[in-house]
């Protein structure tokens, strides 16, 4: 759709794609029955307006709203949520590292904005983003559509397939070029001028590899807990008695954050033949400094949070530095993981790229990315002794301890059984 703001024609609703080659763009535009498009070799992107909108003046340029916003916000993730004069619709433009994000360039009804903000958050992943706008009820950095229109310069101008229209500024530049270069024809100069524009914007934009390298560098700063150090966590878990004030501990569900912290959600149940009550639990639990204690309405269960920080965390970068090629890891790591079969049930998944952002494809990377594969192990508590032989590349993300005072004796049984989920880092062969 093309609409006017401050006497500028702005277009939204372009279908954005990653550009492999500029040679077939005109064909793509015609295939989608459109006439307007934008492309830049430097930004590896192109967008097509799939409908034939009319503008008020035949010789009036049309600008991409998303590109105008992107050129003003070339770093990181940014989402414009703007009111449009004379319309009840809201303009939404999402960009990442100076490129429009597919599916986030449109006019929306107000009721649909919240869902799109949530979807954009998912698209940006761990990188995060800022919201710019003037819509009441949305927490954002102050920004208006008039500022966006001001940012709509020649770089954001759409091209038209089969059009003979030439921007007056282009004619002036071409005349100057012809004057300075003699027989340096207009077509050659136009290509030269476009190259310079691309180079200028390329200096403001980052390649897929640069975006990936920055995301990975940030990821390396997160703290992780090695699988080999799970026995240290076991000792902290077992320091909490199996019964507290007449309430039996049933389960610890623990997650490891990147901030040197293990947070466990503890489930307790009123012991059989017990006169325990909420008060008796609080009195007995005082030394353990539980947080967020919740007494359930069934009067039989309690949940509480317990945090552990005195563990040998280390930066993820240290673990990644030890990564082996996948072929070697299939021997060194999997051979140890297979020992879990003696007492429990191990598992491993496929390797996937670490820190890959949804705004670009892995094929755009120029250097082989690091990989990680999910692994799991379920079994009795003593199974975790095997973890001490795991390589430095194996980390733990989640671990659950299930307590059963009436467990039967067996090689694969114990009063405490654990369910472990983690990742193993590797690099391409």
Residue 278 lies in a domain: yes
* Integer Rg of the chain from CA: 29
- pLDDT the model gives residue 24: 60
CB atoms within 10 A of CB 217: 11
Whether 193 and 260 map to the same domain: the answer is no
Residue 48 lies in a domain: yes
Whether 13 and 146 map to the same domain: the answer is yes
Higher model confidence: residue 21 or residue 183? 21
pLDDT in tens, 314-372: 999 999 999 999 999 999 999 999 999 999 999 999 999 998 766 677 888 899 999 99
Which of 359, 89, 405 has its CA nearest to residue 210? Answer: 359
Whether 271 and 300 map to the same domain: the answer is yes
Whether 201 and 299 map to the same domain: the answer is no
Q: Give the three-class secondary structure for 166.
A: coil
Whether 154 and 187 map to the same domain: the answer is no
Last residue of one domain, picked from the residues 205, 230, 260: 205
Residue 214 lies in a domain: no
Segment among 175-189, 261-275, 329-343, 405-419 with least mean pLDDT: 175-189
Strand partners, 302: 268, 295
> Environment class of residue 256 by beta-carbon count within 10 Å: exposed (0-12), middle (13-18) or buried (19+)?
buried
Higher model confidence: residue 176 or residue 409? 409
Residue 210 lies in a domain: no
- pLDDT the model gives residue 259: 84
- pLDDT the model gives residue 173: 43
Q: Tell me the pLDDT band of 269, cut-offs 50, 70 and 90.
A: very high
Measured between alpha carbons, how far is 385 from 340 in angstroms, rounded to an integer? 10
Residues making up the chain, counted from first to last: 429
Spacing of C-alpha 215 from chain mean position:
9
- pLDDT the model gives residue 172: 39
Average pLDDT (18-28) is 63
Whether 412 and 308 map to the same domain: the answer is yes
Residue 231: its H or E element? helix 230-238
Q: How many domains does the chain have?
A: 3
Q: Give the three-class secondary structure for 305.
A: strand
Q: Tell me the pLDDT band of 52, cut-offs 50, 70 and 90.
A: low
Residue 116: its H or E element? helix 113-124
Query: Per-residue pLDDT for 253 more than 80?
Result: yes
Residue 241 lies in a domain: yes
- pLDDT the model gives residue 192: 55
Contact 412, 343 (CB under 8 A): yes
Residue 179 lies in a domain: yes
Whether 45 and 104 map to the same domain: the answer is yes
Measured between alpha carbons, how far is 154 from 291 in angstroms, rounded to an integer? 57
Average pLDDT (2-27) is 79
Whether 100 and 176 map to the same domain: the answer is no
pLDDT in tens, 73-91: 887 889 999 999 988 999 9
Last residue of one domain, picked from the residues 205, 233, 258: 205
Mean model confidence pLDDT for the chain: 84
Contact 93, 100 (CB under 8 A): yes
Query: Per-residue pLDDT for 387 more than 60?
Result: yes
- pLDDT the model gives residue 301: 95
Structural domain including 177 reads: 166-205
Whether 225 and 114 map to the same domain: the answer is no
Whether 104 and 126 map to the same domain: the answer is yes
Please give the backbone phi and psi of residue 205, each rounded to the nearest 5 degrees, phi first: -105, 160
Long-range contacts of 106-111 (CB under 8 A, 24+ apart): 106/12, 106/13, 107/1, 107/3, 107/12, 107/13, 110/135
Q: Tell me the pLDDT band of 186, cut-offs 50, 70 and 90.
A: very low
Residue 292 lies in a domain: yes
- pLDDT the model gives residue 272: 80
- pLDDT the model gives residue 400: 97
Residue 213 lies in a domain: no
Segment among 12-21, 83-92, 119-128, 307-316 with least mean pLDDT: 12-21
- pLDDT the model gives residue 256: 92
HEC profile for 306-371?
EEECCCCCEEHHHHHHCCEEHHHHHHHHHHHHHHHHHCCEEEECCCEECCCCCCCCHHHCCCCCCE
Query: Per-residue pLDDT for 12 more than 60?
Result: yes
Measured between alpha carbons, how far is 372 from 426 in angstroms, rounded to an integer? 6
- pLDDT the model gives residue 159: 87
Cα–Cα–Cα angle for 317, 323, 326, nearest 5°? 145
- Locate 298 and state its tokens: 């069934």
Whether 237 and 277 map to the same domain: the answer is yes
Please give the backbone phi and psi of residue 401, each rounded to the nearest 5 degrees, phi first: -115, 120
- Locate 225 and state its tokens: 């807990």
Whether 241 and 323 map to the same domain: the answer is yes
Query: Per-residue pLDDT for 374 more than 70?
Result: yes
- pLDDT the model gives residue 19: 63
Query: Per-residue pLDDT for 183 more than 60?
Result: no
- Locate 62 and state its tokens: 């049309």
- pLDDT the model gives residue 214: 86
Average pLDDT (294-321) is 94
- pLDDT the model gives residue 26: 66
What percent of the chain has a predicted confidence (pLDDT) above 70? 83
Which of 82, 420, 411 has its CA nearest to residue 225? Answer: 420
Segment among 33-42, 70-79, 298-307 with least mean pLDDT: 33-42
Segment among 30-44, 141-155, 251-265 with least mean pLDDT: 30-44
Contact 128, 77 (CB under 8 A): yes
């Amino acid at each position: 759709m093309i609409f006017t703001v401050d006497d500028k024609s702005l277009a939204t609703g372009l279908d954005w794609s990653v550009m492999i080659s500029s040679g077939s763009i005109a064909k793509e535009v015609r295939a989608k029955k459109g006439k307007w498009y934008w492309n830049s070799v430097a930004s590896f992107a192109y967008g097509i307006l799939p409908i034939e909108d009319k503008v008020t003046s035949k010789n009036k340029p049309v600008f991409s709203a998303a590109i105008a916003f992107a050129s003003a916000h070339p770093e990181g993730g940014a989402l414009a949520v703007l009111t449009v004069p004379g319309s009840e619709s809201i303009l939404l433009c999402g960009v990442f590292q100076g490129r429009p994000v597919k599916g986030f360039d449109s006019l929306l009804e107000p009721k649909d904005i919240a869902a799109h903000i949530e979807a954009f958050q998912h698209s940006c992943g761990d990188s995060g983003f800022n919201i710019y706008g003037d819509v009441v009820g949305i927490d954002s950095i102050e920004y208006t559509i008039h500022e966006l229109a001001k940012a709509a310069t020649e770089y954001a101008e759409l091209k038209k397939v089969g059009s003979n229209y030439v921007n007056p500024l282009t004619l002036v530049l071409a005349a100057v070029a012809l004057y300075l270069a003699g027989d340096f024809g207009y077509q050659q100069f136009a290509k030269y001028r476009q190259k310079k524009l691309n180079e200028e914007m390329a200096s403001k934009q980052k390649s897929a590899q640069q975006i990936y390298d920055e995301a990975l560098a940030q990821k390396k700063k997160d703290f992780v807990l090695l699988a080999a150090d799970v026995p240290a966590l076991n000792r902290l878990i077992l320091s909490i008695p199996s019964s507290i004030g007449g309430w039996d501990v049933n389960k610890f569900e623990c997650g490891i954050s990147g901030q040197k912290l293990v947070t466990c959600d503890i489930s307790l149940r009123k012991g059989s033949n017990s006169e325990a009550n909420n008060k008796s639990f609080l009195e007995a639990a005082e030394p353990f400094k539980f947080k967020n204690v919740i007494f359930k309405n069934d009067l039989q269960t309690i949940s509480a949070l317990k945090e552990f920080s005195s563990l040998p965390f280390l930066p993820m970068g240290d673990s990644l530095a030890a990564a082996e090629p996948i072929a070697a890891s299939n021997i060194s790591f999997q051979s140890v993981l297979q020992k879990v079969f003696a007492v429990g049930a191990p598992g491993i998944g496929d390797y996937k790229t670490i820190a890959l952002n949804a705004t670009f494809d892995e094929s755009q990377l120029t250097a082989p990315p690091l990989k990680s594969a999910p692994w799991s192990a379920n079994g009795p508590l003593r199974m975790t002794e095997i973890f001490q032989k795991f390589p430095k590349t194996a980390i733990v993300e989640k671990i659950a301890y299930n307590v059963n005072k009436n467990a039967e004796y067996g090689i694969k049984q114990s009063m405490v059984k654990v369910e472990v989920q983690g990742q193993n880092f590797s690099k391409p062969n």
